[in-house]
Amino acid sequence: MRLKAFTLIEIMLVVIIIGILVAMVVPNIAGRSEQARITAARTDIDSNMATVLDLYKLDNSTYPTTEQGLAALLSAPTVSPVPSKWSGPYLKKKKLPKDPWNRDYVYVYPGAHNTDGYDLSSLGPDGVEGKNNITNWESEK
CATH H-level superfamily of 16-135: Glycoprotein, Type 4 Pilin (3.30.700.10)
pLDDT digits (tens, 9 = 90+) for 44-81: 999 889 999 999 999 999 999 999 999 999 999 999 99
pLDDT score recorded for residue 102: 95
Cis peptide before 64 (omega within 30 of 0): no
Cis peptide before 100 (omega within 30 of 0): no
Q: How confident is the model at residue 43 (pLDDT cuts 50, 70, 90)?
A: very high
pLDDT score recorded for residue 22: 79
pLDDT score recorded for residue 131: 83
pLDDT above 90 for 99: yes
Q: How far apart are CA 98 and CA 109, in angstroms?
A: 19
Instruction: State the average pLDDT over residues 78-90.
Output: 91
Strands (E), the chain: 106-108, 119-122, 134-135
